[in-house]
Amino acid sequence: MRAEILLGNEAIALGLVENGVHVAAAYPGTPSSEILAAVRGWSTRLGRRVHTEWSTNEKVAFEVALAASWSGLRSAVAMKQVGLNVASDPLFSAAYTGVKGGFVVIPADDPGPHSSQTEQDSRLLALSAKVPVLDPSTPAEARSMVEAAFVLSERFSTPVILRPTTRLCHALQSLDTSPASQPSDAVSPVRFRKEPTRWTATPRLRNRLHVELNRKLKEIEAAFEQSPLNRVEGPAGPARLGVIASGVAFANAREALDQMGVEIPVLKLGTPFPLPQTRVARFLAEADLVLVLEEPDACIELQISDRTRVRGRLDGTIPGAGELSPEIIYSVLGGLLAEVGISPAAAAFPAPKLDVESLSLPARPPRLCPGCSHRSAFFAMKREFGPQAIYPSDIGCYTLGINLRAVDTFLDMGSGITLADGLYKASQITGDDRPILATIGDSTFLHSGLPPLINAVHTGARFVLVILDNHTTAMTGFQPTAASPRRAAEPDGRRVSLAELARACGVSFVETSSPYEHDAFRALLRRAYRHTQAPDGGVAVVIADWPCILDDPSPIRENPIPVEITLECDGCRYCVEAFECPALVLRSDGSRVDIDRSVCVDCGQCLDACYKGYIVARPAEASVPAS
Ligand code: SF4
Ligand code: SF4
């Protein structure tokens, strides 16, 4: 045995590799991002041949992995929960067509949400797509459920969703990392077999496949009735109160009941869809009242047809939004235990060792990093076009441009361009002549920006699109994009050009400049805007080209520009609010701004940020002779 402490995502990756995954694809998104990198790590360490790729978006990743499954190989795809929306088209169709090699879909949900635009429940999408779901409670269970998912997928020829949530993805647990099984690296003699009646999505055959899918779901439900993934813990027989729980909510419920010193039956459901109806009905029949604990929405509860003695999210016993923290579960359970006449040994949630709420800590809202080139690009846009311009933006680090008042909208991946397109068309009716400047990151442009750009060009929209090209997918951990200079290990891969892509979409004005070169960048923005106003103009694309400071600090290290603030600074706050570098710090008495040298990276980007000229380049320091 070899014990190691693993993240939930690393445990899932280990489960994939030790169970013979051959193709794994993903698009990065918190909380799922570590899974693919860990598959690479485990496959190298365990000597397994696995193709891994960061695909351009979740739909692409899903279909790459699905095709591998149709070729008879075990495959997997990982994404964050909103990524499943992007991949929902093939998800629904793959449920009909079925699979050959085991195919595991891993959408990581984000109850809270901590880093997502919604807290949607992937299990409800699975219910609609008719795809079975496994819902792990711990990293160890997530690892073992990978094997169950592959077996289920191959037995019933269906994609299987393994649905972790943020707290599981980022939980740490000590696991025995000796491989659970020893699959041969040699691929058994499988290859894609032509089967047009299954693999072609013609409507005539869909009805038959739908009937087949419904039958399959009934068989899967019957298998789940017997599955060890579902079990009752606690006392058997009639009870005044019982709990049905799945996912991380089960782990929190278990902890709360232990702390309360209460023994009541708990049905742990590892298979929330399709619901093992007989098993659940048997459990309900034994209890006067049953509390359903699940995240982030009601999926199990929704599938229980008679909810007269059921409490949960649907009747308001549990808050309709947000995570089920141990504190919330403790409080809800406490109320229900009192209602049924059970007195817990410990009535109050244990006080935390450190009362964080009582500490008066300075507010630290998320901000762009010191030296971030996005800040320079936004500052230039604001300088040129002012607060009256409209600034649609997109999903990425640069949504923090909202602090600089250079982001007015963001909705989903690619929407920066489509909203700019729609705003332009609306402006033609309303007579609104404000400039429109959209922003989108390099990874997001490749993910979902091309069809919107084609549409905008084709339908005659006019706006400036600034592609913020920092050479990486920075927000999720510096995964490479198809346009990154430093690419991941795809030996035959080619780097694509953002400028060529924009030109191929029909954009006639495409120019690149570094936002670090303030005068040149602002001049480019002016030319781009003029193009949008010219009789033969249209969409103008500006590529703001500078690497993410955290991913590649070498340009600044090689050419640092130290700055200082002169004694004349009067603390007017303009630089702090308009430029918002975390290294510019207003003194507590408001008298002036100082540079926090522990944070400053000597990028010199704030030299323009004081309109009075009090931020200046620091003279080269006299060399100190060695003693
Ligand atoms: S450096 Fe300039 S802009 Fe910043 S607070 Fe001082 S005077 Fe105001
Ligand atoms: S040089 Fe200016 S912009 Fe750059 S990190 Fe330091 S304070 Fe911030």
457-496: pLDDT as tens digits: 999 999 999 999 999 999 898 888 989 886 655 666 788 9
| Low-confidence winner among 213-227, 323-337, 441-455, 510-524 (lowest mean pLDDT) | 323-337
pLDDT at 593: 97
pLDDT in tens, 88-104: 999 999 999 999 999 99
Q: Hunting for tokens 């323009």 — which residue is that? A: 608
Q: Is the CB of 601 under 6 A from ligand 2?
A: yes
pLDDT in tens, 491-529: 667 889 999 999 999 999 999 999 999 999 999 999 999
pLDDT at 447: 96
Residue list, ligand 1 pocket, CB within 6 Å: 565, 569-575, 592-593, 610, 612, 614-615
How much distance in Å is there from the Cα of 347 to the middle of ligand 1? Answer: 55
Q: How confident is the model at residue 352 (pLDDT cuts 50, 70, 90)?
A: low
Mean pLDDT along residues 283-303? 96
How open is the CA angle 190-214-142, to the nearest 5 degrees?
60
Q: How confident is the model at residue 344 (pLDDT cuts 50, 70, 90)?
A: confident
Q: Choose one of 376, 606, 615 to mutate for the ligand 2 pocket test, by most ligand atoms within 8 angstroms of C-beta.
A: 606
pLDDT at 354: 74
Mean pLDDT along residues 175-187? 67
Q: Does residue 113 have a cis bond before it (omega within 30 degrees)?
A: yes
Contact 469, 497 (CB under 8 A): no
Average pLDDT, the chain: 93
CA gap 244, 280 in Å, rounded: 8
Contact 473, 479 (CB under 8 A): yes
CA gap 161, 146 in Å, rounded: 10
Amino acid (one-letter) located at 365: P
Amino acid (one-letter) located at 205: L
Q: Choose one of 404, 584, 610 to mutate for the ligand 2 pocket test, by most ligand atoms within 8 angstroms of C-beta.
A: 584
Q: How many residues does the chain have?
A: 627
Count other Cβ atoms within 10 Å, centred on residue 258: 11
Q: How confident is the model at residue 203 (pLDDT cuts 50, 70, 90)?
A: confident
pLDDT at 622: 43
pTM value is 0.91
Q: Whose CA is nearest to atom 6 of ligand 1?
A: 569
Question: Can you give 283-310 as a three-state secondary structure string?
Answer: HHHHEEEEEEECCCCCCHHHHCCCCCCE
Q: For 400, which DSSP code? A: G
Amino acid (one-letter) located at 187: V
Contact 336, 317 (CB under 8 A): yes
Contact 504, 446 (CB under 8 A): no
Residue 186 has pLDDT above 90, yes or no: no
Q: How confident is the model at residue 313 (pLDDT cuts 50, 70, 90)?
A: very high
From the list 399, 479, 468, the residue with the least C-alpha distance to 440 is: 468
Mean pLDDT along residues 245-271? 95
Residue 394 has pLDDT above 70, yes or no: yes
Q: Which residues pair with 241 in a beta bridge?
A: 289
Residue 248 phi/psi, 5° resolution?
-65, -25
The minimum-distance atom of ligand 1 relative to the CA of 584 is: 4
Q: Hunting for tokens 């984000």 — which residue is that? A: 110
Residue 249 has pLDDT above 90, yes or no: yes
From the list 9, 65, 5, the residue with the least C-alpha distance to 477 is: 9
Q: Does residue 274 have a cis bond before it (omega within 30 degrees)?
A: yes
Q: Choose one of 603, 607, 608 to mutate for the ligand 2 pocket test, by most ligand atoms within 8 angstroms of C-beta.
A: 603
Mean pLDDT along residues 361-370? 87
| Low-confidence winner among 118-122, 276-280, 354-358, 482-486 (lowest mean pLDDT) | 354-358
Task: Dig out the tokens for 303 from the structure.
Answer: 């599938």
